Amino acid sequence: METLWNKGIETPPEVTRFTVGNDPQWDLRLARYDIKGSMAHVKMLGKTGLLTPKETEEIIAALDKILDKILQGRLIIGQQAEDIHTLVELELSKDLGQTGKKIHAGRSRNDQVMTDIHLYLKDVCRNIARMTARLFGCLQEKSELYKDIFMPGYTHERPAMPSSFGLWLGAYAELLVDDMYQLGAAWQQCDQNPLGSAAGYGNSFPLDREETTRLMGFATLKFNSIAAQMSRGRTERSLSFAMASLAGTLNKLAADCCLFSGPDYGFMEFPDALTTGSSIMPHKKNPDVWELIRARCNSIQGLPNQITLVSTNLTHGYHRDYQLLKDLLFPAIDSLMDCMGMTILMMSNLQVNGSILQDSRYDQLFSVETVNHLVMNGVPFRDAYLQVASSLSDGTFIPEKDIHHTHTGSTGNLANEKIREKMALALSRILDPK
């Protein structure tokens, strides 16, 4: 196997297998970003005179050919190279001979892989933001559609006060805004260029790091070379916290839908095609999709801790420990995107029960309404509270079901437009940064 650090000493195959790990698998998703970073690096080397114009042109053309292979799915990291960085340099050397070997001047695999990851995670942030925007739109649409259909609101998993499907759905939409605030913070960490920090201490070449920053579309540099190296692990952890926040929102929504779509509640249902059956019970309509979303999102919520544990107790500078972060983060990204797609599918097919509160079991939900009505008619609140409590106790309570809530964020004033404005601003920081 070709390595960039080969000194002519044979490495036992078991050591190669152990140290290479899953990089050939995960590096395929970094391949196009490795080419993007390499093109920027080569153009910068040409600008500073470290490559001739002819060499620059030849290497860029060769990198374009490698990119075509990547986009067509024809590039394979097989036994000949340990990672994408080695493979690209190997391909260039085969194509251009000695010229191809000049590409590594002024950089290390340390800053190369960080650049790839920063570029990749910027796209991940964009993809998560776009998917969140779709889910947000679906929730707000359903919130408006069902704003006048009431349902029980709960505290301590006990019926508490009247709520509405509009209020419930709108709540999850607004929680997604908070998740986008977290994602925006992760985006800002990703949007810094580490290229040129080399192994962590810069080098003696007259690199133009501002030029590679511009060419790759980063907002700014990670200026200090050591700080650039120490961003490894921190960048992944920042994104993992944003992913965990979003997973927490999906998890709670899934838990609600599992419970409230059951026959004991009957608040809502989903088409038979989106549920599963039992091998022995013909009547079952199991919420397997929601249960798997709930479980997967629980797993994603553990991701920050996993990344923290791998990255902790390490002195400054690069450590091979960081390689394992791909094994943790990359599958979690795929899982979160799957969960979001399935959540959109399920919520798009939500069907609600419009007559829940007609059931007398929910009459006590209106106790606060009765208390407030008495207060509005001059009865002190504590006296009104005791009066209604007494009627509940002796069975004389008569619910007042004519609800008129007007304050912002209540069943009668969902403020969905204001929430849309908040989300638009949060998304713009990721999808349309200035």
* DSSP secondary structure string for all residues of 382-425: HHHHHHHHHHHHHT-----------STTBTTB--HHHHHHHHHH
pLDDT for residue 18 = 82
| Domain ranges, residue 97 | 13-105
Residue 180 lies in a domain: yes
Q: Is 96 helix (H, G, I), strand (E, B) or coil?
A: helix
Quickly tell me which residue has 């097989």 as its tokens. Answer: 78
| One-letter identity of residue 148 | D
pLDDT for residue 11 = 73
CATH (domain of 270): 1.20.200.10
Distances (CA, A) of 181 to 129, 245, 288, 370, 429: 10, 10, 30, 39, 9
Q: Could you tell me if 242 and 179 are in contact, meaning their C-beta atoms sit under 8 angstroms apart?
A: yes
Taking the C-alpha atoms of residue 277 and residue 74, their distance in angstroms, rounded to an integer, is 41
Whether residue 224 sits in one domain with residue 303: yes
Q: Which two tokens stand for residue 152?
A: 């029980």
Whether residue 99 sits in one domain with residue 128: no
* DSSP secondary structure string for all residues of 56-93: HHHHHHHHHHHHHHHHTT-----TTBSSHHHHHHHHHH
Whether residue 197 sits in one domain with residue 179: yes
Q: Which two tokens stand for residue 13?
A: 């195959």
Give the distance from CA 325 to its chain's centroid: 16
Whether residue 199 sits in one domain with residue 184: yes
Q: What is the pTM of this model?
A: 0.94
Residue 153 lies in a domain: yes
Whether residue 379 sits in one domain with residue 338: no
Q: Which one of 72, 105, 138 terminates a domain?
A: 105
Q: Which two tokens stand for residue 9?
A: 């000493």
Taking the C-alpha atoms of residue 347 and residue 114, their distance in angstroms, rounded to an integer, is 37
| Strand pairing report for 220-221 and 150-155 | unpaired
Distances (CA, A) of 98 to 46, 58, 89, 91, 408: 16, 12, 11, 12, 69
Taking the C-alpha atoms of residue 89 and residue 72, their distance in angstroms, rounded to an integer, is 19
Strand partners, 151: 163
Residue 399 lies in a domain: no
Give residues with Cβ within 8 angstroms of 224, minimum separation 6.
none
Residue 61 lies in a domain: yes
Residue 72 lies in a domain: yes
Instruction: Give the residue numbers marked as catalytic.
Output: 156, 278
Whether residue 49 sits in one domain with residue 149: no
Whether residue 277 sits in one domain with residue 307: yes
Q: Is 151 helix (H, G, I), strand (E, B) or coil?
A: strand
Residue 3 lies in a domain: no
Whether residue 371 sits in one domain with residue 275: no
Q: Which one of 53, 77, 105 terminates a domain?
A: 105
Whether residue 354 sits in one domain with residue 216: yes
Q: How many domains does the chain have?
A: 3
Whether residue 141 sits in one domain with residue 61: no
Residue 401 lies in a domain: no
pLDDT for residue 76 = 86
Q: Which one of 105, 131, 147 terminates a domain?
A: 105
Taking the C-alpha atoms of residue 103 and residue 134, their distance in angstroms, rounded to an integer, is 41
Whether residue 423 sits in one domain with residue 379: no
Full pLDDT tens readout for the chain, 434 residues: 555 545 556 778 788 788 788 888 889 999 999 999 999 999 999 999 999 999 999 999 999 999 999 999 998 887 677 889 989 999 999 999 999 999 999 999 999 999 999 999 999 999 999 999 999 999 999 999 999 999 999 999 999 999 999 999 999 999 999 999 999 999 999 999 999 999 999 999 999 999 999 999 999 999 999 999 999 999 999 999 999 999 999 999 999 999 999 999 999 999 999 989 878 888 888 999 999 999 999 999 999 999 999 999 999 999 999 999 999 999 999 999 999 999 999 999 999 999 999 999 999 999 999 999 999 999 999 999 999 999 999 999 999 888 889 999 999 999 999 999 999 999 999 999 87
Other C-beta atoms within 10 Å of 412: how many?
Answer: 15
pLDDT for residue 39 = 98
Whether residue 354 sits in one domain with residue 365: no
Residue 400 lies in a domain: no
Q: Could you tell me if 404 and 412 are in contact, meaning their C-beta atoms sit under 8 angstroms apart?
A: yes
Q: Could you tell me if 201 and 21 are in contact, meaning their C-beta atoms sit under 8 angstroms apart?
A: no
